Amino acid sequence: MMDNPARRLGRGVTVGLGAAAVAFASAVMPIGTAAAAEPGDEVTLMTFNDFHGALGGARGLVCAVETVRSEADTSFLFSAGDNVGGSAFESAVQNDEPTIDVLNEMGVDATAIGNHEYDQGIDDLLERIEGRTEFPDLAANVTYAASGELVHEPYEVIERDGVKVAVIGAVTTKTVGKVSPVAIEGLEFGDPVDGVNAAVEELNASGEEYDVLVASYHEGGSANAEPGVAPENTDPIFDKIVEETSPEVDAIFNGDSHRTYNYNAEVPGQDGEVRPIIQTGASASFLGTVTLVTEDGEDWDVVGDPELIDATLAEAEECPTSTDVTADVTQLAQDAIDEAAVVGAEPVGSVAGDVTTSWDNTKTSYVDGTRTSDAPIENQSSTKGDNRMRHSAAGDMLADSMKWYLEQNDLTEGHEVIGFMNPGGIRAELWYDQSATGEGDGVVTYAEANSMVPFGNTLNSGEVTGTQFAQMLEEQWQRTAEGGTVDEGDEPFLAFSVSENVEYVFDSTRELDDRIVDIRINGESIDPDATYTIVTASFLFEGGDNMWALSEAANVRDSGVLDRDAFIDYLEANQDLAPDFSQRQLEMQILDGGEYDSEADIDRDPVLRIGNVESQSLGAPEIETVVVDAGEHGTFEAPYAFVEDAGRLVADVTLTDWLCVPEDTVVPLTITAVPETGTEIVTEIGTFTWTSGGAPDECATDDDDATTPPPGDGDDDATTPPAGDGDDDATTPPAAGGDDQAGDDQAGDDQSDDAAQDDSTVVTPVDDSTSGDTTADGSDSSNLARTGVSLGALITTIILVTLAGAGALVLRHRMSRR
């Protein structure tokens, strides 16, 4: 194995010298020095990514690798990162050391470093991980902030059968949001394409010979694609990888986003030339292969299309290619699995049904009114939904477990406790059906609990004000430390679960930091100035997942227990735990503010658009109806169905006869769903403001005792508008602007399975022109700042004034230090 420190020292200030050094070197020695390949030579390149300690898949992966090797003249095997971290229990419980041994034995030639390799800190990566691997760990875009020097080797040249393949590695810049800031303190993650291109220049300037050049990026596209077809990507960095990676690179391998695609893309600046782009999913599901051939001993061309080989083997299925490598890898993996099984088989709790993450509509259908996976669940340990843009039964359960643990152990410091769970931290589902180990239906084992939260974060608590907590919820819409938008390919929204004592209403079409419109703690409006105790993984208190407001929490304390162990205690104390399909948050927009104007013959009731009422977790019922109970003012309902202009499931609930509600009345609304799931969100709205003519005639009672009229009604002049009407009403703020976020992983690698779902949380501002009416002056009814109510006017509680106003803005300035 190469001596990384010596090579890093020798390279020294390569990045700092930059273009000047490259230009000088280019002037005195040849560029793109080629090795002595012969015409007709072929080389097969193999890749996999995001193995994540999937020792259960090692047997299938090595079988695929050895089969390709047996059929190829010359072959090389590369990983695109995240070999360890976020791992299956068998690997995680042994600190991923068996995984590194397996990959060594498999004959990996080099790996790009992934974000999860930094999970336990840079020293752990440099000493334990790089110290144990028998292949180079590469990253061309990570530098020390203080010196600008590269932290890792950027490239390596590997020779086999007279063919030299140079491979360059790069890691995603999203590492800064996926890893605890403490773990990567002092490091800078530069643009991966710029890092690769700089390494190409350095390699060429060095004079070191090579035949084939590979770029292995732990970064990738945002969607899956059929073989031979480019993914419908929404991530600019992937576009840059494809379009701006040096044309000298012969093949591009991807990782991080857990997608599958394999196709040939045009080489920039070289008409008619193509090169393969491959990503293989995750957890040893596929092996990517590409074959290159040279006709002149210098230029290498792709033979056909790159392929994805299914690397899964059924338990009883034998590998058709039996070699010493397949036998040794299989034995190493099985030994580790057997050792972990002793600890992992211990029962720690039980569930009454599947408790899962959110599964988007590309993976599920409703069968007999129940959300059901479209494919059978064959491998419980590696199968999950992972739509991180929607709150889930699994997330709610984990948030509840944190709150429970703090209260059980008297660690609340006298404040109301709020559990807070990031979606990327949930790495597995809890299945009701027994696994292959035969522990029994409903039984949760230590291994299964660990697999759900495998990162080994300690459970921390800290204190925030009500205003800060509101900002934490706002920061589900992701942004950088300075308040800027995250990369378009990232999930723009990460659905953080809250404990059962919290419920809130939001409107994603409003401006950033003005989307949370009502929060209630134990049914009462949140106090902006009160202190609340947040309990969550230590990772988030350090600004992980872009939780900048939480990083400002006061009196942060380490409970001394791992989040996994707190979760296990919760499971032991709550046997036969049933999945909770209720929603603790929902979206409510004012689709139409309503208007009555007798002179203009306008008579339109308000319409609320309500979404995110259904749970996307498996086993959840299909919601048919949304009910809005306004007490004495009526109960209203509407079907919950897919609406084209929203692109998702919503209920457009018309508040009929709402014009008769007395002006300046604040009306509590209770929102529930049918079938009953336990969802019961309470919020408040204000009432309609008459344009002219007072209340409609039908609002009068039989004894001519009219419903309380607006100010001025009852005068001899029935058309006199209410006082102040016609100019700016101080109680009605202007309508919020549209959503400035792109709609969509990951978390983390924390990835969602489809970046732009038809039922995602982040939606396009609604077009309510379908109402068929316009105001008296002809303006479209979607203008909520009309004489009807905007959402700001309807939310009349103090939370709107304090949380979405100056307090939140001041908080953003305070957080700008990051």
pLDDT tens digits, residue range 594-653?
A: 877 777 888 888 899 999 999 999 999 999 999 999 998 899 999 999 999 899 999 999
How many other β-carbons are positioned within 10 Å of the β-carbon of residue 145? 9
Which percentage of the chain shows pLDDT scores above 90? 62
According to the model, what pLDDT value does residue 36 have? 61
pLDDT tens digits, residue range 433-463?
A: 998 878 899 999 998 998 899 887 878 899 9
Give, for 458, the enclosing helix (H) or strand (E): strand 458-465
pLDDT tens digits, residue range 220-271?
A: 998 899 999 999 988 899 999 999 999 999 999 999 999 999 999 999 999 9
Strand blocks (E) in 306-346: 307-310
CA dist 57 to 61, 189, 334, 393, Å?
A: 6, 31, 10, 28
According to the model, what pLDDT value does residue 425 have? 92
pLDDT tens digits, residue range 733-781?
A: 333 333 333 333 333 444 434 433 444 444 434 343 333 333 333 333 3
Q: What is the mean pLDDT of residues 685-702?
A: 61
**Reduced to 3 DSSP states, what percent helix, strand and coil does the chain have, rounded to the nearest 5?**
25, 25, 50
According to the model, what pLDDT value does residue 795 have? 38
Structure tokens at 592: 């139409």
pLDDT tens digits, residue range 79-106?
A: 999 999 888 888 988 999 999 999 999 9
pLDDT at residue 419 tops 60: yes
SS3 463: strand
Decide which of 108 and 593 is more confident. 108
According to the model, what pLDDT value does residue 393 have? 98
pLDDT tens digits, residue range 531-560?
A: 999 999 988 988 889 899 999 999 998 887
Q: Which of 25-39, 113-127, 506-520 has the lowest mean pLDDT?
A: 25-39
- Rounded CA-CA distance 1/97 in Å is 17
Contact 464, 417 (CB under 8 A): no
Structure tokens at 487: 């990369």
pLDDT at residue 659 tops 80: no
Q: Vertex 256, ends 449 and 512: CA angle to 5°?
A: 90
| DSSP calls for 511-522 | -TT--EEEEEET
How many other β-carbons are positioned within 10 Å of the β-carbon of residue 21? 16
Give, for 326, the enclosing helix (H) or strand (E): helix 324-344
According to the model, what pLDDT value does residue 620 have? 98
pLDDT tens digits, residue range 715-727?
A: 333 333 333 333 3
Give, for 608, the enclosing helix (H) or strand (E): strand 607-611
According to the model, what pLDDT value does residue 152 have? 98
Decide which of 520 and 9 is more confident. 520
Phi and psi at residue 200, to the nearest 5°: -60, -45
When mean pLDDT is compared over 170-184, 438-452, 461-475, the highest value belongs to 461-475
**Which residues lie closer than 8 Å to 371 by C-beta, 6 or more apart?**
359, 364, 365, 615, 616, 617, 618, 619, 620, 621, 622
416-421 and 516-521 as β-strands: parallel, antiparallel, unpaired? unpaired
pTM greater than the 0.75 cutoff: no
- Strands in 681-685's sheet, in edge-to-edge order, are 635-639, 625-629, 667-674, 681-685
Q: Which residues pair with 780 in a beta bridge?
A: 774
Q: Which one-letter amino acid corresponds to residue 75? A: S
Q: What is the mean pLDDT of the chain?
A: 82
SS3 353: coil
Q: Which one-letter amino acid corresponds to residue 698? A: E
Task: Indicate the pLDDT class of residue 815, thresholds 50, 70 and 90.
Answer: very low
- Helix/strand number for the chain, H first, E second: 20, 37
Give, for 158, the enclosing helix (H) or strand (E): strand 155-160
Structure tokens at 188: 């800078």
pLDDT tens digits, residue range 202-217?
A: 999 999 999 999 999 9
Q: What is the mean pLDDT of residues 129-150?
A: 98
pLDDT tens digits, residue range 289-300?
A: 999 999 887 889
112-130 as b/e: b if 16+ CB within 10 A:
bbbbbbbbbbbebbbebbb
According to the model, what pLDDT value does residue 700 have? 62
| H-state helical runs in 409-513 | 446-452, 466-474
Contact 175, 189 (CB under 8 A): yes
Q: What is the mean pLDDT of residues 20-27?
A: 37
- Rounded CA-CA distance 77/715 in Å is 87
According to the model, what pLDDT value does residue 696 have? 67
Q: How far apart are the first and last CA of the chain?
A: 38
pLDDT tens digits, residue range 41-53?
A: 899 999 999 999 9
Nearest to 250 by CA among 300, 198, 202, 205: 300
**Which residues lie closer than 8 Å to 683 by C-beta, 6 or more apart?**
505, 517, 518, 520, 588, 668, 669, 671, 795
Which percentage of the chain shows pLDDT scores above 70? 79
According to the model, what pLDDT value does residue 326 have? 97
- Rounded CA-CA distance 504/515 in Å is 11
According to the model, what pLDDT value does residue 270 have? 93
